[in-house]
Amino acid sequence: MSHDKLAYMANQIGRFFESQKPDLAVAAIEDHMLKFWDPRMRRAIGAQLADGSIQLDPLVRQAVERMAAHTPA
């Protein structure tokens, strides 16, 4: 998956949930991606974050890191 596209989509999701209850935003972003993103997209963004090829907003970054535990290999 395109690096720019996945990161862009994730940051879009982040912007919405940051405007809700900020303290719950990380969990909400993770939940949204778990519910709506195919595992290959989740794996891809996790790998892109790990190799430093994408920039994510801070809360989105936390959510993507947490999500790795719930994504099948």
| Sites of contact with another protein (CB under 8 A) | 1-2, 5, 9, 12-13, 15-16, 19-21, 32, 34-41, 72
**Integer Cα distance of 8 and 57 in angstroms:** 10
Closer residue to another protein in complex, CB, 12/53: 12
Supply the minimum distance, in Å, between the C-beta of residue 40 and another protein. Answer: 6
Contact 21, 59 (CB under 8 A): no
Supply the minimum distance, in Å, between the C-beta of residue 44 and another protein. Answer: 8
Supply the minimum distance, in Å, between the C-beta of residue 65 and another protein. Answer: 19
Closer residue to another protein in complex, CB, 37/64: 37
* DSSP string over 9-48: HHHHHHHHHHTS-GGGHHHHHHHHHHHHS-HHHHHHHHHH
